[in-house]
Structure 1
Amino acid sequence: MDADPAPFLYPLEHSKILHLVRHAQGTHNVAGEKDHNALLSPEYFDAHLSPLGWQQAGDLRKQVHASGQLRRIDLVITSPLCRAMQTATQVFGSEGQIDGSKGANIDNSGISSLKCPPIVAAELCRERLGVHPCDKRRTISENRSRFPAIDFSLIESDEDILWKTDARETDEEIAARGLEFMSW
């Protein structure tokens, strides 16, 4: 007799709910909408949030808090790219510790971890790698000083060894990296 083909469901108390949040608008997104070749510019290296991006992250923060969802979050996982960490800290960080409304200054990114879920940077949790400087991350030592509330202990190399100057990651490589991330 064949087994029931229905998927096995774990009891809720043994499960985790995963919410995926894309980074808010980055400066590279603004430039890329005007001219796709702008994404090749070193000016957008590890691009940060645009003023609209800060507003988007602030709006999401209000929604998360108003819904009571923040109390149910055990862990926030972020890409080690600036715009993703800025979004994560703006949405899930402590109240009043960061103010992106004054511009997209990367130095606004330091937050307190008081009364917020832990935030962990994961190298595999990144956008398509290669060629575009906006998708290359800063060193972990630099990021630690800019984002003191983020735990970078899962990232082994200080330098970005995944990003290549001459090759863009294929769809198959992205899928393999995604599966590796999900098995973490």
Structure 2
Amino acid sequence: MLPNPPFSTTTGAALRLCLPIPPRAAASASSSSSRSHSFAAAGRVSLRRRRRRASFTDCRCSSSSSPEMEAGAGTALYPAHRCKTIYLVRHAQGIHNVEGEKDFAAYKSHALLDAQLTPLGWSQVDTLRDHVTKCGLAKKIELVIVSPLLRTLQTAVGVFGGGNYTDGVSAPPLMVEGAENSGRQPISSLNCPPFLAAEACREQLSVLTSDKRSSITRYRTLFPAIDFSLIENDEDVLWGPDIVEANESVAARGMNFFDWLWTREEKEIAVVTHCGFLYHTLNMYGKECHPAVAEELGKVFANCELRSMVLVDRSKLGLDTSTYNFAGKIPAGLDMPSDVAEKKQAEGASKN
């Protein structure tokens, strides 16, 4: 059994999340409410150590200031079996997004605890689902990892789930009918990838009640086919009314999460998560990249936005071998021009 993704600020082996694919044109992103947090000293130390381990450069993702790099020139090659494609999705619009725009203090309201999607949010889910279906992405994804909060769970099953559920089918639904008064039809777990909930990709911990999750017992009732086995505690023991997770600690947690992703066998993974988690994690990865790539990585995610990234193993964290590589020299022969080889073979035959 694979270990749980760590919920910590101690970073592991060096990976690089370096190149969105395909390259995206610069686009405006929605602004998010700022949260002021202090940097944790332990987080600073662990990330400095990580950057030292990852200090070598390549042509595409480097802090080099050479004229070629500043002009955006250069490419990089990595063995394909040392790469995974990760599809990052921020949840659709939640009720907390609407109320918080009106009054930031509303984020602390008990009414917004574990905020669910708005009707507009569900429309955003439907639109993204149409996109991933039409472009063929839905058939490529091997696993969906989702933060265990209501808005991310709803987004994940709505976008990547198996469509409308039919009564009498032996497989449990991903989401039951009308979950949390959503007015939505049940969603099937057939003809879609497996779903796995993980605390390590949840939103930045803060005093906001919208970031406190419900019990796993409740979630299992609403989302029967999602695997919650990685979550150790039924109630939310991580959130607290006076707990504020420092920005750099979120980034370190995110980098640990991506390290854990590399230990999984799946090569195409969707991650449905949150704005703050993505912003701080990707900006930390961007510190190792060319400024143009760093800017692209660091853009704030809009609600229900999807971006594809390449996760590269630069430290032999994974031991996978390529499915497509072929060793060559089968059958084996003399490594010389064909005319010389024929002469050598003839000489060998005459001696027999």
Q: TM-score, normalised by structure 2?
A: 0.48
Counterpart pick for 2:245 among 156, 169, 175? 169
Contact 2:95 2:116 in 1 (8 A): yes
Instruction: Tell me what 1:26 maps to.
Output: 94
Measured in 2, the distance between the counterparts of 1:11 and 1:143 equals 40
Code of the aligned partner of 2:229: S
Counterpart pick for 2:151 among 78, 83, 87? 83
Contact 1:121 1:151 in 2 (8 A): yes
Matching of residue 119 in structure 1 with residue 195 in structure 2 = yes
- More displaced 10-residue stretch of structure 1: 105-114 or 146-155: 105-114
Measured at CA, do residues 104 and 138 of structure 1 come closer, stay the same or move farther in structure 2, by a change above 3 Å? Answer: closer
Matching of residue 60 in structure 1 with residue 128 in structure 2 = yes
Measured in 2, the distance between the counterparts of 1:129 and 1:5 equals 33
Counterpart pick for 2:107 among 35, 39, 43? 39
Q: TM-score, normalised by structure 1?
A: 0.88
Code of the aligned partner of 2:222: R
Higher strand content, 1 or 2: 2
Uncovered stretches (5+) of structure 1, i.e. residues with no partner:
none
Code of the aligned partner of 2:142: D
Instruction: Tell me what 1:134 maps to.
Output: 210
Measured at CA, do residues 160 and 110 of structure 1 come closer, stay the same or move farther in structure 2, by a change above 3 Å? Answer: farther
Higher helix content, 1 or 2: 1
SS of 1:89 mapped into structure 2: helix
Measured at CA, do residues 174 and 89 of structure 1 come closer, stay the same or move farther in structure 2, by a change above 3 Å? Answer: same
Matching of residue 12 in structure 1 with residue 80 in structure 2 = yes
Higher relative contact order (CA 8 A, sep 6+): 2
Q: 1:180, CA displacement in angstroms?
A: 2.0
Measured in 2, the distance between the counterparts of 1:106 and 1:93 equals 16
SS of 2:213 mapped into structure 1: coil
SS of 2:88 mapped into structure 1: coil
Measured in 2, the distance between the counterparts of 1:123 and 1:108 equals 26
Contact 1:111 1:149 in 2 (8 A): no
Measured at CA, do residues 107 and 125 of structure 1 come closer, stay the same or move farther in structure 2, by a change above 3 Å? Answer: farther
Q: 1:130, CA displacement in angstroms?
A: 2.5
Measured in 2, the distance between the counterparts of 1:48 and 1:18 equals 25
Task: Count how many residue pairs are aligned between Structure 1 and Structure 2.
Answer: 179
Measured in 2, the distance between the counterparts of 1:103 and 1:85 equals 11
Root-mean-square deviation (Å):
2.4
Instruction: Tell me what 2:297 maps to.
Output: none
Code of the aligned partner of 2:113: F
Measured at CA, do residues 106 and 82 of structure 1 come closer, stay the same or move farther in structure 2, by a change above 3 Å? Answer: farther
Counterpart pick for 1:71 among 121, 139, 144? 139
Measured in 2, the distance between the counterparts of 1:167 and 1:154 equals 23
Code of the aligned partner of 1:157: N
Measured in 2, the distance between the counterparts of 1:22 and 1:5 equals 30
Q: 1:157, CA displacement in angstroms?
A: 1.0
Counterpart pick for 1:145 among 209, 221, 224? 221
Q: 1:120, CA displacement in angstroms?
A: 0.7
Code of the aligned partner of 1:143: Y
**Identity across matched positions, percent:** 51
Instruction: Tell me what 1:96 maps to.
Output: 164
Measured at CA, do residues 9 and 140 of structure 1 come closer, stay the same or move farther in structure 2, by a change above 3 Å? Answer: farther
Contact 2:146 2:201 in 1 (8 A): yes
Uncovered stretches (5+) of structure 2, i.e. residues with no partner:
1-55, 60-75, 166-173, 261-352
